[in-house]
Amino acid sequence: MNEQLTQIYGYLHGMWRYRWSALVVAWIVALLGWPLVFSLPDQFSAKTVIYVDTSSVMKPLLKGLAPETDAADELQVMSRVLLSRENLLSVIRETDMDLEINSPEQREEMVEALAGAIDVKGGGSGKKWEAKSNIYEISYQSRSANRSYQVVSNLLNTMIENTLNSTRTDTVTAQKFLDTQIAEYESRLTIAEQQLAEFKKANVGFMPDEKGGYYVRLQRAQDAVEASGSALLLAKRRYSELKRQLSGENPILNNESYQSSKEVKLKRYQEQLDSLLNQFTDQHPDVRALKAIIENLKSGSEVAEGEDASVSGSSEVSEFNPVYQQMKVELSKASVEVETLKIQLKEQQAYVTKLQGSIDVIPEVEAKLAKLNRGYEVMHERYLDLVERRESARLAQSAGQSAGDITFRVIEPPIVPYKPSGPNRLLFLSGVLVASMGAGLAWSFLRYMLNPTFIDLRQLSSITGLPVLGTVSLYLSPEHTKKRRYQLATFLSVTFLLVIIFGGIVLFRESGVAFFMSAGL
């Protein structure tokens, strides 16, 4: 620690030797820097603060009826459009800045300088208004107070007008486009409808029905033929069985034996049914026919009392056999059913044959019809969608004319600045003073490093690497002491004078600026 302090003390002692040249350097830097600060031109800054209200009463009312636009995105885009080249050229023309342009190169330089001088904050684009993204600040700094005001005012008007008119212009453009597309789709739909109608007229009988196309109809017809064939086979077997049983019945039957005969027949038929069930299932045609006969026999009504009876050569009373009569009725029904099923089967087989003969025609017709319907449905859906969008555009346009989604409130309107906003001459003057002091210290340190001195035996020994035998102290006479004190007082006075001059310059800096401006420096 002692070595470091000794080294620092050595530096300071060595720099003190060159204090007068360092003071001269400080004075030169200060006397050159302060006039340069006064010669800097004044800068005038104009600004405006705007609050953008994007909460419209119409939004919840028009939700789902009109297209919703993101006002925040529109403002973000507009804040960037403000600094576009075309907009900056417009600002240059309206503020008469183009009178200073003599070449295309100067125009481009002015556009770049104007873009760099304009500061747009807000909408999440600047740290100052990050928490309040609906507040915008537009500022511009120039040498002319009137020009600063004109630029900011022009940018404010451009932002408000373009933002309010952009939605309406877009809505009108979209509506015109939709009208054109709807007219085109109407003509295409008319042509498609005519083609579809002519195709249906030319292919009557080959068109698919509501239950399916060609292969579905063919499969359905074949299934119907198979079902009719099975039904016909069952009806024929039932008819044969009824005919066989009818041949074994007596049409006339005594009253005493009627009930016993009926019970005997039911018993016999039940035995036959049980025998068939041991061999076949319930769906077998013989089983089903025998079940039908048993049901008919059980449901047969007896001959009414008092009815006339026939006498067959004996004294006993006779009557018609109701089982015989019932079986004759069932046999007649079975005969009609067989003939009906034959006709039905024949017609279904003819229909299947017709469909099979059209196997090369109907599928092709159905494919062309599906293609026509597909194109028509696509155009029809697109047409309805365009009509719906046009109505939404009209509603949005009407809503935009009655109340806009964005409302601008100018919190701080732009004014012509009467006081310059820059440069900060107090800061620059203080910076020149600090720089002059730093330049003097740097000069003395550089001189010391070029011509070092030693104030300590160990320092001299470590630098030279030679042993030090002894030292000789400096004796100062009263005259030398008095002279040194005078030199120190003079140095401090000159240094303090520099500080006093700095204070006077700071105090009368406005007068200094006016003097330099009047002198044209």
Does residue 466 belong to any structural domain of this protein? Answer: no
Residue 369's pLDDT band (boundaries 50, 70, 90)? confident
Contact 432, 29 (CB under 8 A): yes
**Per-residue pLDDT at 224:** 84
Residue 433's pLDDT band (boundaries 50, 70, 90)? very high
Same domain, 356 and 225: yes
Same domain, 243 and 352: yes
Same domain, 176 and 61: yes
Least confident of 50-64, 105-119, 303-317, 418-432: 303-317
Does residue 75 belong to any structural domain of this protein? Answer: yes
Residue 1's pLDDT band (boundaries 50, 70, 90)? low
Same domain, 295 and 322: yes
Residue 395 clears pLDDT 70, i.e. is over it: no
Half-sphere exposure of 437 (CA within 13 A, CB side): 11
Distance from C-alpha of 241 to C-alpha of 263, rounded to nearest angstrom: 19
Does residue 209 belong to any structural domain of this protein? Answer: no
How many angstroms separate the Cα of 460 from the Cα of each of 2, 9, 10, 17, 449?
A: 16, 14, 11, 18, 15
Same domain, 36 and 50: no
Domain of residue 142 covers 44-181+403-412
Same domain, 244 and 257: yes
Same domain, 145 and 227: no
Same domain, 136 and 245: no
Same domain, 234 and 171: no
Give the chain's domain count: 3
Same domain, 281 and 349: yes
Enter the pTM of the model: 0.45
Same domain, 163 and 290: no
Q: Between vectors from CA 509 to CA 505 and to CA 512, what angle results, nearest 5°?
A: 95
Listed residue (483, 460, 482, 463) closest to 472, CA to CA: 460
Same domain, 62 and 156: yes
Q: Residue 319 — φ and ψ, nearest 5°?
A: -150, 165
Higher pLDDT, 51 or 454: 51
